[in-house]
Structure 1
């Protein structure tokens, strides 16, 4: 069985507070609330605690 990979649904910049959400229709990130700083090199709050693989049934 193939592993299913999931993406984060939302992210927030740790530097300027910009919030974005994943748009299912386009498959890309869109600004949710507040644009943050225009010239910020965004540092997203997605880190090693996010697990991109869904747990699924294992084959015996």
Structure 2
């Protein structure tokens, strides 16, 4: 059985509200809107309900 790992494409800090999106052209996260608190140790909302692993379907 193989699996596909799907990384998140956007994220939001649960502490300061900063939002970021993944930019394929720059190969990294880019701020999407307000910068939030630049001194915040960001707590990203990519845990809990986000599931990065998807089972591959066999044919």
TM-score, structure 2 as length reference? 0.82
Residue 46 of structure 2: aligned partner:
46
Runs of 4+ with >4 A deviation: none
Could you report, residue by residue, the CA deviation over 1:2-30 in whole angstroms, capped at 9, with x for unpaired residues? 42211111000011100000011122111
Q: How many residues align?
A: 59
Is the strand fraction higher in 1 or 2? 2
- Structure 2 gap ranges (5+): none
- Structure 1 gap ranges (5+): none
TM-score, structure 1 as length reference? 0.81
